[in-house]
Structures are given as structure tokens and as C-alpha cells.
Structure 1
Amino acid sequence: MHGKVDVAVMIGSGVPASLRALGRKVCWVVLVNGEQRGTAFATRAEAQECQLAWVEQLAVLKPGRRPLKHSA
């Protein structure tokens, strides 16, 4: 399984109502192969953490690939 994992920004009416109710006009989402996965994030940093998790998960699922290791 392969995948391209991106973080995209959504503005205005693309922001979920729950975040707009909190005064947010911008949010970030994670896209895997162009499709949104999971929820909208209030910060880019949160979305990037989710992006990293997807990248690691997809790396584990690739045949013949070893899982990524974090450096301390």
C-alpha cells in the first residue's frame, strides 16, 4: 500500500461549524491520497502530528519495509 500524506488548510465555510462556533476561521486537515482522514485540527502542529502518524502507519503496511524509528 502506498500513500501520499498532506496537510491542507481550510478557510471560511470549509471550516467545520464546531470550530467556527469557537471563532476559528481557519483549520487544517490531513489528506491521504487526496482524501480527508479524520477530523479538522485547530492548529497546523496538530495536523502535522497526525500526518506523521499516517506516514508511519503507511510505511509499516508497505511490503518489505521496516517500520520507521524515532530518534530521541
Structure 2
Amino acid sequence: MNSRVDVAVMIGSGVPQSFQALGRRLCWVVLVDGERRGTAFASRDEALECQAAWQAQLARCHAA
């Protein structure tokens, strides 16, 4: 089974309080098979790096 790893943007009330306290109204998260994994990211590039790490990890698991 292949897992799907996506990057999604969260806007408004979905943004963690810690980000809102800094004046941020959006963040990015990584979803594995539709479920949020890990933390929220301040930049899309950070989330894309995390996505690549998840994809690499899952590929190793599926190859074993």
C-alpha cells in the first residue's frame, strides 16, 4: 500500500495559538493519508522538506 503525503495550508482559526500570538494567520502542515503528522510550519519550504522526509521514510518501509 502506498501512502499519500501532502502539504496543506491552514488559515485563520486552524492556526495554532502559538503562531497566532506572533501575528501569523496561516501555517503549513504535513498530512500522511489525510492525517496531520508533526508540527505546523511557518513556511511552505519547511513543510515541503518534512514532506520529502516522510516520503523517503515510507519508501524505505515499503521497500523492506
Are 1:37 and 2:22 counterparts? Answer: no
Tell me how far apart the structure 2 counterparts of residues 2 and 16 of structure 1 sit (CA, whole Å). Answer: 29
- In the other structure, the counterpart of 2:54 is 54
User: How many residues align structurally?
Assistant: 64
* TM-score, normalised with respect to structure 2: 0.95
* TM-score, normalised with respect to structure 1: 0.85
1:1-72 → structure 2 map (5 Å cutoff): 1-62=1-62, 65=63
Identity %: 67
Tell me how far apart the structure 2 counterparts of residues 13 and 40 of structure 1 sit (CA, whole Å). Answer: 13
Higher-helix-fraction structure:
2
Unaligned runs of 5+ in 2: none
Tell me how far apart the structure 2 counterparts of residues 35 and 2 of structure 1 sit (CA, whole Å). Answer: 15
Structure 1 runs (4+) greater than 2 angstroms displaced: none
